[in-house]
Structure 1
């Protein structure tokens, strides 16, 4: 049978692979842009749905919580001997 695989972050399709090779190892990478767009404290799911050409399917779902932003450093001014900056963490 041929197998198609769809990966989703919440309800957004990340990838749709038609006729994937059998026994293929696949990796999902969430970019910083996608992760930072998720609200802090939100519960999120990654779903992997595999469907064969006969309509049979299976789903794996992984749940995670977005917990924090990265700390930020903002440089206000600098010269050859001194740097003034602010560090913040949401």
Structure 2
């Protein structure tokens, strides 16, 4: 599970690295024509902002998955402990 989380976070980090302002400009110009990004800076900002939000969501997802894994482990450990103590309490 941890390797999945690590891989997911690494992919999200790469997404931000891959779509910085220059890459956003190149992508927009390739799609809409040369100079379109220059004439529409809000579009460039929106693309970079979207990539940043995607990364933040991926980071939150990773933290959530780690918390769930920890809760599962704690629950399993607690169940095992209760089963071990059961004979002491109930004979």
TM-score category, normalised to shorter length: under 0.3
Question: Which structure carries more strand by proportion?
Answer: 1
Q: What TM-score do you get using the length of structure 2 for normalisation?
A: 0.25
Greater RCO (CA < 8 Å, at least 6 residues apart): 2
Q: What TM-score do you get using the length of structure 1 for normalisation?
A: 0.25
Bigger Rg, which one: 2
Question: Which structure carries more helix by proportion?
Answer: 2
